[in-house]
């Protein structure tokens, strides 16, 4: 989140980004690697993500990028306070579109 992968590309398109603070990023990484990567799905962790997304919304965010393949296990369009952009699904759809266009 803080390495600029998305923020730099979004800025190049004129889109401002808001990222979770350092403590939130640390907890998000912990949840991903200690829980989701080992198929440990916990309601408290899903709620944590929803709270962080809610905080981003109050800061002016209009959508949220799910930039890790595991996040969609606990965050989706139905439980997120903001519209979600699931990078895994978007990449898969782009690959299908490219394949079908050839």
Q: CATH code for 5-100?
A: 3.40.50.1860
Q: Which residue has the higher pLDDT, 76 or 3?
A: 76
For residues 85 and 72, give the distance between their C-alpha atoms in angstroms, rounded to a whole number: 10
The encoded tokens of residue 41 equal: 């799905």
**Length, in residues, of the chain:** 102
Where helices occur in the chain by DSSP H, the ranges are 5-12, 22-30, 43-58, 87-101
Q: Could you give the percent of the chain with pLDDT greater than 70? A: 100
For residues 87 and 9, give the distance between their C-alpha atoms in angstroms, rounded to a whole number: 14
pLDDT digits (tens, 9 = 90+) for 24-67: 999 999 999 999 999 999 999 999 999 999 999 999 999 999 99
Give the N- to C-terminal CA distance of the chain in Å, as an integer: 34
């Amino acid at each position: 989140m803080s390495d600029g992968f998305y923020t730099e590309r979004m800025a190049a398109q004129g889109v401002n980004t808001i990222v979770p603070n350092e403590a939130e990023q640390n907890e998000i990484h912990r949840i991903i690697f200690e829980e989701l990567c080992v198929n440990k799905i916990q309601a408290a962790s899903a709620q944590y993500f929803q709270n962080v997304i809610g905080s981003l919304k109050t800061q002016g965010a209009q959508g949220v990028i799910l930039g890790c393949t595991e996040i969609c296990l606990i965050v989706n369009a139905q439980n997120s306070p903001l519209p979600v952009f699931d990078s895994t699904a978007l990449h898969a759809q782009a690959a299908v579109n490219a394949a079908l266009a050839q």
